[in-house]
Amino acid sequence: MRPVEARELFAEELTFPTTRSQAIAAVGDRELEAPNGADRTLAEVLARCPEAEFRCATGLYEEMMEFLDVGFVGRTEYDDRSRTPRTGVTPVSL
> Does residue 11 sit within a domain?
yes
Provide the residue range defining the domain that includes 41.
Answer: 3-72
Give the largest Cα separation in the chain, rounded: 49
Q: Which class for 57: exposed (0-12), middle (13-18), buried (19 or more C-beta within 10 A)?
A: buried
> Does residue 78 sit within a domain?
no
> Does residue 90 sit within a domain?
no
Name residues of the chain where pLDDT drops below 70.
74-80, 82-94
Task: Using alpha carbons, list the distances in angstroms from residue 73 to 13, 32, 36, 56.
Answer: 26, 13, 7, 24
21, 22, 24, 44: which is closest to 32 by C-alpha? Answer: 44
Q: What is the pLDDT of residue 41?
A: 96
Question: How many structural domains does the chain have?
Answer: 1
Q: What is the pLDDT of residue 26?
A: 97
> Does residue 85 sit within a domain?
no
Q: Is 62 left (phi over 0), alpha (psi -120 to 50) or beta?
A: alpha
Q: For the whole model, what pTM was predicted?
A: 0.76
